[in-house]
Every structure is written in structure tokens, then in C-alpha cells.
């Protein structure tokens, strides 16, 4: 699939990143809304480069959802896929807005002595140390949440309820917070 004259940016695959088959009706809907998705991406973030990855994510997510609820194959998945794509695009835009560019290599010498840069570096080291103290399961939960998975999807992966996985995760966070 090409986006506004560009070379292939969306790989229309049979399987998602974890090896689950992607439904053909969702793949077909993805091909049909591709141009609209590229236009939406350009309008929201002024660049169509992230459209491919966002479409892959949305197609895989919608396919998992439809398989989970046992929906029959049909050709009317465009709206559902566009909503999933737009939500992924909004998350991408919010994440991009939080990114802070550091500047050119000549600017790094000034950053090395700046107090706020040192405080941010120490905070990142503390966060990494905190993550290493989590149990394997809860570290995975944290990584899945950071990757954009919903609590519901994580609970299904672990074969438990949303309330159980969320409360056990936050219970361990509280325990580690007070132990530190």
C-alpha cells in the first residue's frame, strides 16, 4: 500500500506481530480506508510517515477484538477500523507532544551541567531501578501498558479479570514504593 505517492509503508500481512492470523475482512477494510487514514494522519501530525505502523496496529487490534467476540466475517468493518486507527493516531500525537528534542551535539555540553537535566537523568535511573524490582509478571504488565494495551487485553493474556490484574499490579507498586 502506498500513501500519497510514497513507496510501500503499510505491510498488509496475514499474521500480526505475535503470530495470530489477521482476519481477511479487517485486512480488506484496511486496504479500503488506507487513503483516508493517510490523509487523517497528515492532517493530525503533519506527516504521513506513522500511518503504516498505526494501520498495522489498528488492523491487528480490530482483528483480535472481532475474533474474541466471535463476530462473523463480513465486509462492513470500515467504521470500526477507522475508529481504532484514529484512537491510535491520537495516542501517537499525544506521545509525540511529550517528546522533548535535546538539540544539536554542540548543545550537549550545556546540558551536562544543567541541574534539571541531571534531575531528569536521576529520575530515569530511579525508574529503571524501580522496574527491575517488580516481579516478572508485573514488569510485563507495565511494558504492555506502556505499549498501549488496555487492561482488558492484558487480563485476557493472563487468563484473569481486569480487576484482579489491575489491583495486584498496583498493590505491588504500593509495596515497592513504601519499601524504598
Q: What is the pLDDT of residue 111?
A: 53
User: Last residue of a domain, which of 98, 127, 151?
Assistant: 98
Based on the domain organization, do 69 and 131 belong to the same domain? no
Q: What is the pLDDT of residue 7?
A: 44
In a domain, 52, yes or no: yes
What is the pTM for the complete model shown? 0.52
User: Last residue of a domain, which of 54, 70, 98?
Assistant: 98
CATH at residue 132 = 1.10.10.10
Q: pLDDT at residue 8 above 60?
A: no
Identify the residue with better confidence: 8 or 125. Answer: 125
In a domain, 1, yes or no: no
Give the DSSP letter string of 6-65.
-S------SB-TTSPBPPHHHHHHHHHHHHHHHHHHHHHHS-STTHHHHHHHHHHHHHHH
State pLDDT tens for residues 155-167: 998 899 999 999 9
Number of domains forming the structure of the chain: 2
Q: Which domain holds residue 91?
A: 24-98
Q: pLDDT at residue 6 above 70?
A: no
Angle, helix 136-146 to helix 151-158, in steps of 10 degrees:
140
Based on the domain organization, do 110 and 62 belong to the same domain? no
The stretch 110-137 carries a mean pLDDT of: 74
Q: pLDDT at residue 10 above 70?
A: no
State pLDDT tens for residues 143-155: 788 788 899 999 9
Based on the domain organization, do 76 and 123 belong to the same domain? no
Based on the domain organization, do 77 and 116 belong to the same domain? no
Based on the domain organization, do 92 and 30 belong to the same domain? yes
Amino acid at each position: 500500500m502506498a500513501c500519497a505517492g510514497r513507496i510501500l509503508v503499510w505491510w498488509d500481512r496475514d499474521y500480526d506481530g505475535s503470530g495470530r492470523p489477521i482476519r481477511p475482512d479487517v485486512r480488506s477494510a484496511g486496504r479500503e480506508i488506507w487513503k483516508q487514514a493517510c490523509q487523517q494522519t497528515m492532517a493530525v501530525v503533519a506527516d504521513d510517515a506513522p500511518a503504516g505502523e498505526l494501520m498495522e496496529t489498528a488492523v491487528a487490534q480490530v482483528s483480535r477484538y472481532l475474533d474474541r467476540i466471535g463476530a462473523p466475517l463480513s465486509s462492513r468493518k470500515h467504521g470500526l477500523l477507522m475508529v481504532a486507527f484514529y484512537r491510535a493516531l491520537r495516542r501517537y500525537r499525544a506521545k509525540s507532544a511529550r517528546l522533548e528534542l535535546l538539540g544539536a551535539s554542540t548543545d550537549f555540553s550545556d546540558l551536562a551541567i544543567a541541574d534539571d537535566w541531571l534531575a531528569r537523568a536521576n529520575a530515569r535511573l530511579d525508574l529503571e531501578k524501580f522496574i527491575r524490582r517488580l516481579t516478572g509478571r508485573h514488569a510485563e504488565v507495565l511494558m504492555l501498558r506502556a505499549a498501549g494495551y488496555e487492561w482488558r487485553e492484558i487480563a485476557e493474556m493472563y487468563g484473569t479479570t481486569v480487576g484482579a490484574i489491575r489491583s495486584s499490579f498496583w498493590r505491588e507498586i504500593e509495596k515497592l514504593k513504601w519499601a524504598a
